Amino acid sequence: MSSEPSPEATGAPQPLPTPSSPSRSAGAPKGQTAHRIGKVIPYIPALIPAAIAVAIAWVLIGATKFHNFGWGFFLPGSAANPWGVLVVIVGSFLTAVPALMLSMLIGLGIAIASTTYLPPFLTKFLDPFVDLLAGIPSVVYGIWAYLVIAPYLGTVVNPWAVEHLSFIPGFAASIIPPSPTSAGIGLPLAILVLTLMALPITTLLIRDALRSVPKDLWESGLALGATRWEVMRKVGLRTGSRGIISAVFLGFGRAIGETVAVAMVIGADARFPVNVYDVTDTMAAYMFGTLDAALVNPTLGENLAELALVLMAITLAVNIVGRRLVSHIYAQEVPGI
């Protein structure tokens, strides 16, 4: 009786061996736990900023003790509710928005000059000075503005503006209540300080956005016979629009949250300004100036905690809007020049 030849004798491929099921040893659960921990660890650094923001909001909400929530908190103060903060909210926007506009215009001019017109050796020499402005403490800006700029505004600029620009609404001097046109402190000085403090971040972001434009686009535009300004206007600004819009919103967050320098030059008087020379107050400066009194007045402390929540909500809303706008700006084909 003949037997079938073996696979080894015929040269046929042998089947792969069937893998045996892993044994449930004592070390297997330990390895699975380490693997799960290793998958969770990378998420921890990403969750830290969100956890900090939630913790700050939770602590502030607890500090308010839910006493001041309601529309009456925002209305001008009265005997029943002396914590109306609409004045300082308006003062914050009256100082932050003009400062942002000025810093964007100046920063855009600096960025265009350094990326388009200035020679490389001069750009390398001047660029560090913009970085230096970002490192100056805010109290230094405040002292400099109070001691140097305020007297000049009070004795030269403000009287000249009252004399020659009084026909423009808001530029005439007020008598009731008296407007401190001769003191120099107030809205113009606060706007100037905020402009200088927001200028570094706006300039750096705009400059980096323009420098990120591909070199081929610049050279193609110049090869077609366009001037440097035409290439900048039609190619550079359009391609770097994301960075420019980011500079707007980050600069606004820098301006609306500034505290010490503004508190030194704005006058710290929580009332609506009657003209462009008048004094007022901002949310951050108001909290800074009344913090000592809050230590002995618990109700004032609750008011400051809720005001901090309002400031936090405004900056969060601005950042969300900024991210939404930037996310809708996609790289588009640059039209011909």
| Cβ partners under 8 Å of residue 72, min gap 6 | 80, 81, 84
Q: What is the per-residue pLDDT for 176?
A: 47
Above pLDDT 90, what percent of the chain? 14
CB atoms within 10 A of CB 266: 28
The rounded mean pLDDT for the chain is: 80
Place of tokens 């996609």: 330
Q: What is the per-residue pLDDT for 333?
A: 44
Least confident of 29-43, 131-145, 174-188, 297-311: 174-188
Q: What are phi and psi of 71, to 5 degrees?
A: -65, -25
- Alpha-carbon Rg for the chain, nearest whole angstrom, is 31
Least confident of 60-69, 199-208, 219-228, 316-325: 60-69
Burial class for 129, CB neighbours closer than 10 Å (0-12, 13-18, 19+)? exposed
Q: Which two tokens stand for residue 260?
A: 């010490």
- State mean pLDDT over 80-107: 85
193: pLDDT strictly greater than 70:
yes
User: Cα dihedral angle (287, 293, 294, 297), rounded to 10 degrees?
Assistant: -150
pTM of the prediction?
Answer: 0.78
Question: In which band, very low, low, confident or very high, does the pLDDT at 241 lie, cut at 50, 70 and 90?
Answer: confident
Q: What is the per-residue pLDDT for 268?
A: 81
The CA-atom distances, in angstroms, between 12 and each of 4, 8, 19 are 13, 7, 21
Peptide bond into 177 cis (omega under 30): yes
Burial class for 287, CB neighbours closer than 10 Å (0-12, 13-18, 19+)? buried
Q: Report the alpha-carbon distance of residue 56 to residue 69 in Å, rounded.
A: 18
Question: In which band, very low, low, confident or very high, does the pLDDT at 189 lie, cut at 50, 70 and 90?
Answer: very high
All structural domains of the chain, each given as residue ranges with its CATH number in brackets, are 72-211+239-327 (1.10.3720.10)
15: pLDDT strictly greater than 50:
yes
Kindly report, residue by residue over 114-132, the tens digit of the pLDDT: 888 888 888 888 888 888 8
